[in-house]
Amino acid sequence: MGIRNRFQKLLKGKVLILDGAMGTELQKRGLPTGVSPEVWCLEHPEILTSIHRSYIEAGAQAIYTCTFGGNRLKLAEYGLSAVKEINEKLAALARKAAGREVIVLGDLGPTGRFIEPFGEIPFEEAVAVFKEQAEGLLKGGVDGFVIETMMDIQEARAALIAVKELGDHITLVTMTYESDGRTLNGTDPISALITLQALGADAVGCNCSAGPAEMVPWITKMKPYATVPLVAKPNAGLPRMEAGHTVFDMEAEAFASFAPHLVEAGANILGGCCGTTPAHIASLKGKLRNAEPRPPWRKALGAVSSHRSFFVFEEHPTLTVIGERINPTGKKELQAALREGSMGLIRQMAKEQEEQGARLLDVNVGMPGIDEVSTLRRAVLTLSTSTTLPLVLDSPNVEAIEHALRVYPGRAIINSISGEREKLARLLPVVAKYGAMFILLPITDGGVPQKKEERIAVIRSVFREARRYGFAKDDIVVDGLVLTVAAEQDAVRETLDTIAWCHEHFRVKTVLGISNVSFGLPERRWINAAFIAMAQREGLDLAIINPASPEVMAVQRAADVLLAKDRGAVVYLSHFSGAPKRAQETALSSLHPEERVKACILEGERESIETAISASLERGTNPHDLVNNVMIPAIVEVGERYSRREFFLPQLLASAETMKKGLAYLEPFLVESAGERALKGTIIMATVQGDIHDIGKNIVALMLRNHGFNVLDLGKDVPAEKIIEAIRKAQPQVVGLSALMTTTMVMMKEVISAARNAGLSTPFLLGGAVVSPAYARELGAYYAKDGVEAVKVVEKLISSDKKHE
Amino acid sequence: MMGQTQYFDPLPIRDIPVDAVYHRLKYRSEITSLSEKQRAEIKAAIEEARNLLSMKGALRRLRSQVSEGHYVVLETGDVLKSDKLALFLEGCLEVLLLAATAGGQITTEIGRLMDKGELARAAIFDAVASETTDAALDWLMKYVNQIIRREGKTLMDKRYSPGYGDLGLENQVIFHRLLHLDRIGVNVSSRFILIPEKSVTAVTGITEGTEKGRSNWV
């Protein structure tokens, strides 16, 4: 019986039992630290064999080879390079221990590096690394592979592609998730499942990092979307110290007690990871004797993914917007950027479209004068790190599609595959290899079919061909074919009828490139908006549009409400009603001029302050009264709100900047009316020597200036001598010192001592994250925790100083 | 991973720790009130700051021992003098040296904003850079924990940085040399300040099991 049949038979109505931990078992038997476990096992084959045998005797139906770190990059850390030989020998030992009854899975663990675009290792190098290891394992007699403990979806993909390119081998893939349910790279279990099962994994799941209890919700989340069996290989809890030895805190029975929950959640394959022992596996087997696992109920899934998110079409009855803007046609700036090889504009376009409501992004870089293959590949890698939206790869160039699909760390849609014979023959196997979905474009070598019936014939024909490669209807989206209404007015009806047929009869998702319909006409947005609503009435599922078009976006949202796709108008209301407004927010223009000045300062409206002040002055308000009775009370109120945490730092600073701008605008009027504004005093500010943190000091300086103080800012990393010299020269009322580190705050003592030794009695005000009131008192200084408090302390110091005068 | 420095360029940290950024800026969710316009402006500023970050990291695992309760002696012969660090690492046979940087572009922009008087945006950018650099160290520690778990080991869940507690700033020279931080564009000035400014180094211990009762972090 072939291995694939054996595998499926083992899963029929039963849970497949894997082995438990190898690393911790080797440690118990003397594996020293700092030594390659793989090589140590080759030096102690009897130990390795006994561990394999003990798991088999405990009930494991599949064992992993001891090759977790057997790839080139990991072995190089120990100065080893005989990758194939090491893997072959370890596989052979497992094979011998397993006999013919137990499945042997070649274990491919992580390299410890991250793969482009998330790290520096080129994708093809990663594939080559895993291929080399897998070749050795195959030679040693493994039945299949397990790709495990993966933190990087791209690395998991590289390993899976490597294995699949060596043949049709059974491959399990398990990722390792942090306590928040995502990998270190941010991939969630469902996105990983969609990507890996589409790419050809025979089972997908999770291992390590967590105990069985933590894995139940992850398996539960994955199950509804799984087209393959699910794997759970948890740790025996967390490691702890006991009498000088490492133990895991979950004993065998406790570990196994979670097995029924994992099966109920949807796991079909179970084993144990770090800390588990043959006893754990035996208990697991006992607990699962009568377990009835749920096989995957889906054969296919209409879903796409990025490395951080996923989109399942059946869960979104409203229209799905595919952002169309990443397309150089008619866009000179994008054309120039692509010619230069710059990806900044593409990144920006992706972000903007995401904010404007696109759920997927169409990526097209086709234009003369560039290498489309390398450009599309770069665009895909760039977008993988700058947007979470899944991508639609748009190109007629088969090679460009292939290179882009190979490196895309998710499941994409290809735009498009048509009935053109040669392209169909070349593209279908490529798209099938990488597990992508595709847009079916019903055109042929003969051109664009005019009538609905002709298009239907092409759709059926292409789908028949696609089925030979394993595609199901869930994997395709039919393009209804949009022609320009200005040239072919009757064609619109054919397009809409094609959409209706796909929706009602063929039962497949549909898409339209909406803006094609209005080409050549003025005010295209109205044609586009009307067309999209009409198409939605016929059952359109996806639309390639510009999400920045408010008319089209508004109409499509309205149509979803009218067609009862947006139940309760939830999406519509959420978009148009916005978040609840903050109480007391009033339009500035409706306020009395002095109130307007106050509101500008309270709200941090830097752009409006000058106009507000001007309006107030025009009404005859005395500028000094404006400062003393309106602006200063306003900034004081800002400070009080900040102290109560009703405002936070950016609001405080925006208000302070507005105040500063307002005072600067008022300055000539103040001088004109009653001479220069009297300053309340002079403060010297400095960050002490050795410390370069100064943003806190700058905030205090701004607040003090707002309140009418003259501030001499000496900057950062200021030696004591320079501060003393400045005190002598400027005769300030207060000196403010700032330090952010415990090792630099000691310089404050030096400065104060130097001042006192020089006969200077100026009070010092200290601040900074590590400074405390007690420390300040110890140095005979004052303390302020922030700019608001600093103003209060300085005002108090100066007013009490004046009393003594 | 034993003994060699591992670099992360880029360091694939997932997200800006937005909650931490807001908290650093003294936002309190039950109390602080923001208008829609302010919220949008702050969000845009955070996004702008994010685009200026160029996160990189380095780490190195070294054998170590505590000497006389005052010194941590590394296998390279380097010595870190700190009573608190020595107490923290007592019982650990290995340490992990870590470094992360946000790159120079964001520091330059913060300086430019401060010179222009745009302190609100400067404060936001500063918070984004500081919290993301700190989060990068958290990421590096989680990464290492994934790897050493298979050895039955785990990291202490706190870390020490030069310039804090009694671990003198001059130790930055040791970190810089042992991690070859010039590889990720980080240098150390004659005053032992890391350049670019939004860079940080740290040391933590590797333990057998999870003896995490220690709270000697200063």
pLDDT for A118-136, tens place per residue? 999 999 999 999 999 999 9
Tokens representing A425 are 């023959």
Q: Choose the mutation target among B16, B19, B38, B134 for the interface with A, i.e. most A CBs under 10 Å.
A: B38
Which chain A residue has its CA at the smallest distance from B210's CA? A240
Lowest average pLDDT, out of A312-316, A341-345, A693-697, B176-180, goes to A693-697
From the list B202, B206, B203, the residue with the least C-alpha distance to B155 is B206
Q: Residue A558's CB: how many other CB atoms inside 10 A?
A: 17
pLDDT < 50 regions, chain B: 210-218
Distance CA A768, CA A783 (A): 9
Distance CA B35, CA B43 (A): 12
Task: State pTM to two decimals.
Answer: 0.89
Distance CA B103, CA A247 (A): 41
B6 contact residues in A (CB cutoff 8 A) = 112
Where does the pLDDT of residue A801 fall: very low under 50, low under 70, confident under 90, or very high at 90 and above?
low
Hey, are the CB atoms on A209 and B168 less than 8 Å from each other? Answer: no
What per-residue confidence (pLDDT) applies to B208? 75
Residue A175 main-chain phi, psi, to 5 deg: -100, 160
Mean pLDDT of A1-6: 84
The region that residue B69 occupies, defined by phi over 0 for left and psi between -120 and 50 for alpha, beta otherwise, is: left
- How close B104 gets to chain A, by Cα (Å)? 15
- How close A176 gets to chain B, by Cα (Å)? 9
Tokens representing A66 are 């001891």
Alpha carbon distances (Å) from B85 to B51, B70, B161, B200, B204: 36, 8, 10, 17, 9
From the list A246, A254, A243, the residue with the least C-alpha distance to A279 is A254
From the list A472, A463, A451, A384, the residue with the least C-alpha distance to A419 is A463
Mean pLDDT of A602-617: 92
What per-residue confidence (pLDDT) applies to B37? 86
A79 vs B: CB within 8 A: no
Hey, are the CB atoms on A184 and B139 less than 8 Å from each other? Answer: yes
What per-residue confidence (pLDDT) applies to A315? 94
Instruction: Report the C-alpha dihedral over residues B34, B37, B41, B47, rounded to 10 degrees.
Output: 90
User: Residue for token digits 């991973």?
Assistant: B1
Q: Choose the mutation target among B149, B184, B197, B207 for the interface with A, i.e. most A CBs under 10 Å.
A: B149
What per-residue confidence (pLDDT) applies to B216? 26
Where does the pLDDT of residue A667 fall: very low under 50, low under 70, confident under 90, or very high at 90 and above?
confident
Mean pLDDT of A238-265: 82
A185 vs B: CB within 8 A: yes
**Residue among B34, B139, B169 whose CB faces A690 most closely:** B169
What per-residue confidence (pLDDT) applies to A675? 58
What per-residue confidence (pLDDT) applies to A243? 60
What per-residue confidence (pLDDT) applies to A778? 93
A181 vs B: CB within 8 A: no
B162 contact residues in A (CB cutoff 8 A) = 743
A68 vs B: CB within 8 A: yes
Hey, are the CB atoms on B211 and A241 less than 8 Å from each other? Answer: yes
The region that residue A166 occupies, defined by phi over 0 for left and psi between -120 and 50 for alpha, beta otherwise, is: alpha
The 3-class secondary structure across A123-179, one letter per residue, is HHHHHHHHHHHHHHHHHCCCCEEEEEEECCHHHHHHHHHHHHCCCCCEEEEEECCCC
Q: Choose the mutation target among B9, B13, B33 for the interface with A, i.e. most A CBs under 10 Å.
A: B33
**Residue among B14, B35, B162 whose CB faces A582 most closely:** B35
pLDDT for B49-107, tens place per residue? 998 999 999 999 999 999 988 999 999 999 999 999 999 998 898 999 999 999 999 99
A332 vs B: CB within 8 A: no
Task: Check if the beta carbon of residue A652 is closer than 8 Å to that of residue B38.
Answer: no
Residue A37 main-chain phi, psi, to 5 deg: -60, -35
Confidence check: pLDDT of A97 > 80? yes
Distance CA A491, CA A166 (A): 48
User: Residue for token digits 């939004």?
Assistant: B198
Mean pLDDT of chain A: 93
Alpha carbon distances (Å) from A118 to A154, A155, A618, B147: 8, 10, 59, 18
A239 contact residues in B (CB cutoff 8 A) = 149, 152-154, 209-210
Query: What is the crossing angle of helices A649-674 and A787-804, to 10°?
Result: 40
DSSP state string for A593-656: HHHHHHHHHHHT-HHHHHHHHHHHHHTT--HHHIIIIIIHHHHHHHHHHHHTTSS-HHHHHHHH
What per-residue confidence (pLDDT) applies to A696? 87
Q: Choose the mutation target among A648, A693, A703 for the interface with B, i.e. most B CBs under 10 Å.
A: A648
The dihedral through the CA atoms of A467, A473, A475, A479 has a sign that is positive
What per-residue confidence (pLDDT) applies to B72? 95
- How close A742 gets to chain B, by Cα (Å)? 5
Q: Residue A788's CB: how many other CB atoms inside 10 A?
A: 23
Distance CA A697, CA A395 (A): 55
Hey, are the CB atoms on A743 and B163 less than 8 Å from each other? Answer: yes
Which chain A residue has its CA at the smallest distance from B113's CA? A695
Peptide bond into A416 cis (omega under 30): yes
A77 contact residues in B (CB cutoff 8 A) = 1-2, 4
Hey, are the CB atoms on B14 and A186 less than 8 Å from each other? Answer: yes
Q: Is A701 helix (H, G, I), strand (E, B) or coil?
A: helix
pLDDT for A408-467, tens place per residue? 999 999 999 999 999 999 999 999 999 999 999 999 999 999 999 999 999 999 999 999
A24 vs B: CB within 8 A: yes
Which chain A residue has its CA at the smallest distance from B51's CA? A386
Beta partners for residue B98, in sequence order: B59, B202
Alpha carbon distances (Å) from A165 to A127, A160, A264, A557: 10, 9, 35, 45
Q: Which residues contact B211 (CB under 8 A, 6 or more apart)?
A: A240, A241, B91
Compute the residue count for chain A. 805
What per-residue confidence (pLDDT) applies to A584? 44
Where does the pLDDT of residue A548 fall: very low under 50, low under 70, confident under 90, or very high at 90 and above?
very high
**Residue among A351, A699, A770 whose CB faces B119 most closely:** A699
What per-residue confidence (pLDDT) applies to A586? 53
- Give the HSE-up count for residue A409: Cα atoms under 13 Å, Cβ half-sphere: 32
B19 contact residues in A (CB cutoff 8 A) = none
What per-residue confidence (pLDDT) applies to A800? 79
Which chain B residue has its CA at the smallest distance from A696's CA? B123
Alpha carbon distances (Å) from B131 to B24, B55, B108, B114, B198: 8, 12, 17, 19, 10
B122 contact residues in A (CB cutoff 8 A) = 695, 698
The dihedral through the CA atoms of A643, A626, B42, B57 has a sign that is negative
What per-residue confidence (pLDDT) applies to A66? 97
Q: Residue A351's CB: how many other CB atoms inside 10 A?
A: 15
Counted across chains A and B, CB pairs separated by less than 8 A come out at 177
A651 vs B: CB within 8 A: yes
Q: Choose the mutation target among A64, A274, A695 for the interface with B, i.e. most B CBs under 10 Å.
A: A695
- Rounded to the nearest 5 degrees, what angle is found at the Cα of B54, between the Cα atoms of B52 and B58? 155
A646 vs B: CB within 8 A: yes
pLDDT for A692-702, tens place per residue? 778 889 889 98
A238 contact residues in B (CB cutoff 8 A) = 210
B9 contact residues in A (CB cutoff 8 A) = 120
Hey, are the CB atoms on B110 and A695 less than 8 Å from each other? Answer: yes
**Residue among B146, B152, B163 whose CB faces A24 most closely:** B152
DSSP state string for B14-33: ----HHHHHHHTT--TTT--
